[in-house]
Amino acid sequence: MLRSRRSGPFWCGSRTGIDAQPVIQFEHVTKRFGAFVAVHEAHFAIGEGEFFSLLGPSGCGKTTTLRMVAGFERPTSGRILLDGRDVSRVPPYKRDVNTVFQQYALFPHLSVYDNVAFGLRSRKVGAAEVRRRVGELLELVRLPEVADRRPGQLSGGQQQRIALARALVNRPRALLLDEPLGALDLKLRETMQVELKRIQREVNATFVYVTHDQAEALTMSDRIAVMHAGRTEQIGTPPEIYHRPATAFVASFIGNANLLPARVAGRDGQRFTVDVAGAGRHTVAADAGPELHTVPNGTEVLFMVRPEAMMVSRQEPAGVGGRVAVTVTDVVFAGPTLRCVGHTAHGAVLTAEVGPHGLSVAPQRGEQVWLSWAEAAAGLVPADVTGPTGLTGAQPLVEPSGPPGERI
């Protein structure tokens, strides 16, 4: 059931939780609120010691999925297993999982020490053991010096570290984290991402992490489930999801993607020839996803090249995998990179993101330049024209660029 989607390239060798003992299993889990389907047929397992993220836009069903694991919601159909045991009828407090929320939910009238000790004391753990464990957890989150303070005397980042210590003190089988860094500013969030990952490695616990922030999920996760409108669109390691998105939604949601409607024209083993709308015929060294292995010629697909894989040049480049001439419509300075947007003669909009060595003189609006890419940088994505992304096969699509520097 938990087969990795792809095999072959370097990124498929990473830990995927497939071999690990599953701690959490979703078996055809659907959750309805009245007629509304919040989670549709979730069917996957999370392995022991995995950092597993549920990633998707607001409202896609992440929190609902997590709450079903915690026991705050019951599946409408399907089962959830913890350590192989069906917990559908087990109340939250009897499940060996803990949740960390965006709001720190610390007891304001208790000291940091007592907050962390709370779970141990309610389990009647002896005083010496409580002292030892609380000390250990405060060391783990690198805040041993604040034991006597009240939560109100801590910064947001510190409070979230204490919330983490409190949630881990009982050594739960899985820690569920619902956008735990959402209230922190960007710099602190980035620091905490590294910290969370370190803590997870040190305690070797199973983390289920909910976020709508793709950069966050890519940074921290062993595997990611990308959710969209209640459905799991793809499960894979960060490089799998980034380099070989299984759907147009995943391609656009994770990073930026140049996606152009194309048609399969032929195939020679692992190499596809495709006719790309407005950009001619190209070869794609597609270790394309298995969903594309059997498609007949003429099938509509989407041709994908990531902006950072695009090269920009004034002369027509030779010896490249593919190239297309564009008229520059926008040049955005984004710090380490320059974002260059242009349109082809057929109106397809393409974005290139080039580093400092890309071009000695920045392109100007209105100028004609060549965008090119290595054969290995091009990919194919199934054109699910009826799918929830609302893509129509006739329309070139480019993900709107964020504000300067946002993704760098």
Ligand X SMILES: Nc1ncnc2c1ncn2[C@@H]1O[C@H](COP(=O)(O)OP(=O)(O)O)[C@@H](O)[C@H]1O
Residue type, 52: F
58 in contact with ligand X (CB under 6 A): yes
Considering the rule CB under 6 A, would residue 63 count as an interface residue with ligand X? yes
Q: Which does 61 bind (CB under 5 to 8 A by kind): ligand X, Mg ion, none?
A: ligand X
User: Which of Mg ion, ligand X, none sits in contact with 159, Cβ below 5 to 8 A by type?
Assistant: none
Q: What number of chain residues touch ligand X (CB under 6 A)?
A: 11
Question: In this chain, which stretch among 60-68, 91-99, 329-337, 341-349 interacts with ligand X, using CB under 6 A?
Answer: 60-68
In the list 9, 21, 28, 33, the residue contacting ligand X (rule: CB under 6 A) is: 33
Residue 62 touching ligand X (CB under 6 A): yes
Question: What is the spatial distance between Cα 225 and Cα 229, in angstroms, rounded to a whole number?
Answer: 13
Q: Which does 38 bind (CB under 5 to 8 A by kind): ligand X, Mg ion, none?
A: ligand X
Q: CB under 8 Å to 233, separation ≥6 — which residues?
A: 226, 227, 246, 247, 249, 250
List the interface residues with ligand X, window 78-107 (CB under 6 A): none
> Using the rule CB under 5 A, is 64 a contact of Mg ion?
no
Tell me which H or E stretch contains 305. Answer: strand 300-305
- Give the torsion sign (CA, 334, 337, 343, 348): negative
Burial 37-69 (b: 16+ CB within 10 A, else e): bbbbebbbbbbbbbbbbbbbeeebbbbbbbbbb
Out of ligand X, Mg ion, none, what residue 64 binds, judged by CB under 5 to 8 A for its kind, is ligand X
Q: In whole angstroms, what is the distance from residue 402 CA to residue 404 CA?
A: 6
| 11-19, 62-70, 350-358, 364-372 -> range binding ligand X (CB under 6 A) | 62-70
Q: Can you read off the two tokens belonging to residue 267?
A: 């195939």
Per the DSSP assignment, residues forming a β-bridge with 128 are none
Please report how close the Cβ of residue 77 comes to ligand X at its closest, in angstroms. 16
CA distances from 6 to 14, 124, 218, 231 (A): 12, 48, 18, 20
The 257-296 site mask, x for binding Mg ion (CB under 5 A), equals ----------------------------------------
- Closest by CA to 217, choosing from 252, 246, 253, 185, is 253
Tell me if 59 contacts ligand X by CB under 6 A.
Answer: yes
Does 63 bind Mg ion (CB under 5 A)? Our answer is: yes
**Measured from the CB atom, is 37 or 332 closer to ligand X?**
37
| Interface residue list for ligand X (CB under 6 A) | 33, 36, 38, 56, 58-64
